[in-house]
Chain A
């Protein structure tokens, strides 16, 4: 069915509503007529298909990808921290280097902390990642001290 036929009916209805004093109905019908007019020669089904495609959301907005962690820096820091073993002084030096290194952003800090602590959950801040590294070291050092006491 062509939109032309529908338009003729809607215009007729609009005149009827206008004569009856139904201004809102008349105005809204006029808006519908106006939006259908460019499609006058199209079948109603084609207009319905266009409407449907226009109403379908385009999908979720793409999130801005954070740059990946610099693996070289991560490996370098992990080596420093693990080489310290349970030695407090060596660890403090390595930890100070890691926390002061400007190249280490959240991604790097998260990767270092996850590798060092063997945790799988991501750290939301650099501060939390560094704190987790320190806690893991303290736990390991305490555990080793307990073993020494027992033996």
Chain B
């Protein structure tokens, strides 16, 4: 799965949380989604590798 596809999923989840009245969770997902947007073309695996590189 690409990060872009993951973001679509998170956007849907954000809408669900918002409609359920959990604005804080929706805002958290929105913020995380905006960070992920820079890595849209990467797969989740590539993103995880990048995150591991960031840990070093």
Q: Say if A and B assemble together.
A: yes
Bound state CA distance, A32 and B29, in angstroms?
13
Bound state CA distance, A53 and B38, in angstroms?
12
CB of A34 within 8 A of CB of B13, answer no
Size category of the B interface is 20 to 34
User: Is the CB of A52 closer than 8 A to any CB of chain B?
Assistant: yes
Given A51-B54, A54-B54, A55-B50, A6-B28 contact (CB < 8 Å): yes
User: Which of the residues A9, A32, A38, A48 comes within 8 Å of B55, measured between beta carbons?
Assistant: A38
Please name 26 pairs of A and B residues whose Cβ atoms are closer than 8 Å in the assembled complex, sorted by A: A1-B28, A1-B31, A5-B28, A6-B28, A6-B29, A9-B25, A9-B28, A13-B10, A25-B1, A28-B44, A29-B6, A31-B45, A31-B48, A32-B6, A32-B48, A35-B47, A35-B48, A35-B51, A35-B52, A47-B35, A51-B54, A52-B38, A54-B51, A54-B53, A55-B39, A55-B50
A residues with a Cβ closer than 8 A to B are 1, 5-6, 9, 13, 24-25, 28-29, 31-32, 34-36, 38, 44, 47-48, 50-55
